[in-house]
Amino acid sequence: MLKMIDLFAGAGGLSEGLRQAGFHSLYANEIMKPYSETYARNHVNTLVDQRDIRTVDAQEIRSNLGLARGELDLIAGGPPCQGFSINAPVRTSEDARNHLFREFIRFVDEFQPKAVLIENVPGLVSFENGMTLQAILDELGNHGYHADVRILYAPHYGVPQTRWRTIIIGMKNQEDVHSAFPQPEYNAPLRVNFTSHFDGKNIIGFPKKANLPPHISVKDALSDLPVLQNGEVGEVCKEYRTSPQNSFQRFMRQYSDGVFNHEAPRLSKVNLDRLAYIPAGGNWTNIPMELLPKGMQRARKSDHTKRYGRVDPDGLASTILTKCDPHWGAYFHYEQDRVFSVREAARIQTFPDHFIFTGSKAEQYEQVGNAVPPFLAAAIGYALVKLLVKEEQHQVKITG
């Protein structure tokens, strides 16, 4: 089991995926109380710290964990990066987010891990014309890490939604960081609507193999979960609707006692009236004009194509956001007249069913929507494990 710590950890999606790949999270820092409580519930052997990271003594944490410098395998996390710039002292003093990235680097300096993993939004690549991203890579280089970046598409790794993440990996003793990024495992439809070039090259991880299996669909992910009526709460733990219908569902149900976090928010009458007109794969353009919100009555049919969408069961879901609000995207169930439950959103994010979300319903949706999909994290984790194990074997051979 490889050792890691997770900073700006959220509810633990990144740690969950890395756990599946063979990492054990020794320590996690997350200032948001509902998020850290969910993390602690699902990672019972991890020291979870709710303090502001700026007040945390990294040397004390390392000492408490009993680790020598260089012994830790990985520091992972999602530090705010958009405020960071090495050569912008004025911005440095004004933008608190910059200092948070400095805190991440402070832990890297203290632990000297073999690898560093940073995740962020695709927009990081174009932010300040790429200067921020270049500053991050340069800073990792200044601290002894060979670093590179890719934009990864979650459906390529078995995640049934259109979600992109910018992934930065730094390696202490490996110059060829390229092999630390996973290769796509599934074919999936995609549309790139952001800057995908950096330093003169396309940094999207496109499939290289032919004949990859098709993407995991929404129906593949959800069809075994219990039927719910609009507004239905029911038992805290519900029985599955069917036996597992595919390998995705079998994996989701490992170590699970039943279906938790599966309650249907109550839609208003006007939204139910709108929903009656929307077929699977349809959207707001199927709704009669008089039922549309005033602002959307003036919209072009080609705009806002995901709003008031009922997902195509054979397709990919919209990106899961911090609310499954039909005004934001295609969050209507493909065959039931309601929006996704927290558990359904979590399934689409690839959280296993034994992963329980705590806090209010709104907080649970936020935790799911802000998370890194565990399947994406696991794919990165497996690629990292190969390199780290290979490196360790090489070191043993030299010293032996």
Question: Catalytic site residues?
Answer: 81
The residues near 204 (Cβ < 8 Å, ≥ 6 apart) are 150, 151, 152, 153, 192, 196
* Signed CA dihedral, 354, 231, 34, 81: sign only: positive
| Cα separations in angstroms, 151 against 10, 98, 197 | 21, 22, 10
* Signed CA dihedral, 82, 83, 85, 86: sign only: negative
- Hey, which bits of the chain come out as E strands? 2-7, 23-29, 47-49, 74-77, 115-120, 146-153, 164-171, 197-198, 201-202
User: Do 113 and 68 touch, CB atoms closer than 8 A?
Assistant: no
Nearest to 5 by CA among 40, 80, 15: 15
Measured CA angle at 139 (ends 138, 145), to 5 deg:
85
CA 75 from centroid of its chain's CA atoms: 16
How many helices and strands in the chain, by DSSP H and E? 13, 9
- Residue 396, helix vs strand vs coil: helix
Q: What span, in angstroms and rounded, lies between the C-alpha atoms of 115 and 18?
A: 13
Residue 116 DSSP one-character state: E
Residue 300 has a CB neighbour count (10 Å cut-off) of 7
Tokens 């009555």 found at: 297
Tokens 């405020």 found at: 83
Tokens 């007040």 found at: 55
Span between the terminal Cα atoms of the chain, in Å: 22
Residue 112 DSSP one-character state: -
The first and second tokens of residue 177, run together, are 């960081």
Measured CA angle at 23 (ends 29, 107), to 5 deg:
35
CA 337 from centroid of its chain's CA atoms: 27
